[in-house]
Amino acid sequence: MENDRNAQAAAAASGSVAYLVLICFVATLGGLLFGYDTAVINGANTFLVRHFNLAAIERGWATSCALVGCIVGVASVGFLSDLLGRKKVLVISAILFIISAIGTAIPRTFIEFVIYRFLGGLGVGAASMTSPMYIAEVSPARIRGRMVSLNQLAIVSGMLLVYFVNYFISLQGDEAWNVQTGWRWMFGSETLPAVALLVLLFFVPESPRWLTKKGRRDEALRVLARVNGAEAGAREIASIEGAIAQETGSIRELLLPGMRLALVIGIALAVFQQVTGINVFLYYGVDIFIDIAGSETSAALLQTVLVGAVNMAFTLIAIWTVDRLGRKPLMAIGFIGMCVCLFGLGTAAYFQWKGVWILAFMLGYIACFALSVGPVTWVILSEIFPTAIRGRAMAIATLCLWAANYIISQTFPMMKESKWLLARFNQAFPYWLYGILGVAALIFLVVYVPETKGKSLEEIERTWRREGSASRPKVP
């Protein structure tokens, strides 16, 4: 009996990690659907293009129309997440995922397909911003990096899952069956995880920081006490209230000197995450294996499973190291490795090396991205903005991320099939271009991005305010 009382007292003092993991797990299902929805096109693309007889620009649009939805979704969801709460926005996302999954499985025309992919993009855009923000707002500073990185793990898990699903669906019939029917099952398979997210969201609490901002202090304190323990929860809610008292709640606050630097950093990191080419490999991996490595379609689909497995394995390493090594060192390691692999892949494409070279450089690139730039970008974006306007500020940065994603995804098929570029560079030009942008990203990281490891969200906010009040603002 005494031992039971001691255990209960200890739990009250330290909080429940199990509870934190459970509610973050539900939020990460939004990330899983983000990965599933964006990567399903990789395996289905080849069959979809043949089914609707698409030209190069239409092929790019089949992929990037969802990204336009992401841009619109993010532009809307920042305001909604600050108004309605993080949880309600995730519910809306789940509903959009369900509609899109069913709709993209049964289109009669390419236009119908584009409409439903656009709706799915709205859900992806909302989830891509809201899931990491929710996790950051419920997690203690000491493990916040790891918990937010779980969202990236969920994203790559969704990608790996759909690579397996696409591969096994493709085995259910011959090439003609896949062109006519198989790709429909690939898109429709998203319905199951989307329904799971919608149901489970009814069992998690709202973000305690959003509740505090809305004056619902008792509800916020209950959540914080259950996660951190009663004493730590009381201290944290006092810190949150102090930070909110200094906030105007106006988006103009981001234009103040210190906050302006935070906004520039957030936008730049979001854009650099995309323009270094990650989604070219995630959306067009099958095409790359077929065109450059000379793989057969079934082998290319299987090779994308290997890409997904490497993505997941190195994301796990990132989760283990992000709160130990810090955000900035991991990002630097990642950008360096990505640049080496991009220049190597471009060289292999230029000299038309086949087989293992293409796979090695692609897997090396994916490993470096998953170790650092993928998860850590979302960690930083979820940390650096004030509570009262975090939703809208993250929306601005995430909107820029999806806009950059759209540009890269739309232009890659055009660059790949450009006769002018092919005559001069074979198929090397896109990879060398992404490598040059990776060098620019590394320089920006070293010069401008601060380290946020181990700091509470309120401490980070006070750092920006001190920067803004200094007579000569310094780069942190």
Quote the pLDDT of residue 7. 45
d(C-alpha 48, C-alpha 113), whole Å: 10
Asked which of 189-198, 214-223, 226-235, 278-287 is least confident by mean pLDDT, the reply is 278-287
Asked which of 5-14, 114-123, 146-155, 226-235 is least confident by mean pLDDT, the reply is 5-14
Residue whose entry in the numeric block shows the structure tokens 């494409």:
349
Task: Provide mean pLDDT across the span 112-121.
Answer: 93
DSSP classification of residue 451: P
Q: Using the Cα atoms of residue 456, residue 458, residue 463 and residue 464 in order, give the sign of their dihedral.
A: positive
Quote the pLDDT of residue 293. 57
Quote the pLDDT of residue 118. 94
192 phi and psi angles, rounded to 5 deg: -60, -55
pLDDT > 90? residue 321: no
Question: Per-residue pLDDT tens for 388-411?
Answer: 677 778 888 888 988 898 888 888
Question: Per-residue pLDDT tens for 244-277?
Answer: 776 656 667 777 776 788 888 999 999 999 999 8
d(C-alpha 427, C-alpha 294), whole Å: 13
d(C-alpha 122, C-alpha 107), whole Å: 18
**What residues does each domain of the chain span?**
17-204+247-469
d(C-alpha 163, C-alpha 305), whole Å: 5
Quote the pLDDT of residue 41. 83
Question: Per-residue pLDDT tens for 139-192?
Answer: 887 777 788 888 878 888 888 888 889 888 988 988 899 899 999 999 999 999
Quote the pLDDT of residue 102. 95
Query: C-alpha distances in angstroms, 368 versus 94, 247, 315?
Result: 30, 37, 9
Task: Provide mean pLDDT across the span 407-426.
Answer: 83
Asked which of 244-258, 328-342, 406-420 is least confident by mean pLDDT, the reply is 244-258
Query: C-alpha distances in angstroms, 402 versus 143, 349, 405, 406, 451?
Result: 27, 27, 5, 6, 25
Average pLDDT, the chain: 83
Q: Which CATH class is domain 17-204+247-469?
A: mainly alpha
Residues 6 or more apart in contact with residue 180 via CB below 8 angstroms: 51
Task: Provide mean pLDDT across the span 104-124.
Answer: 92
pLDDT > 60? residue 473: no
Quote the pLDDT of residue 261. 83
Question: Per-residue pLDDT tens for 347-365?
Answer: 988 888 776 777 889 899 9
Cβ proximity of 344 and 361 under 8 Å = yes
Question: Per-residue pLDDT tens for 446-466?
Answer: 998 888 777 777 777 777 777
pTM above 0.75, yes or no: no
d(C-alpha 451, C-alpha 467), whole Å: 14
pLDDT > 90? residue 103: yes
Quote the pLDDT of residue 141. 74
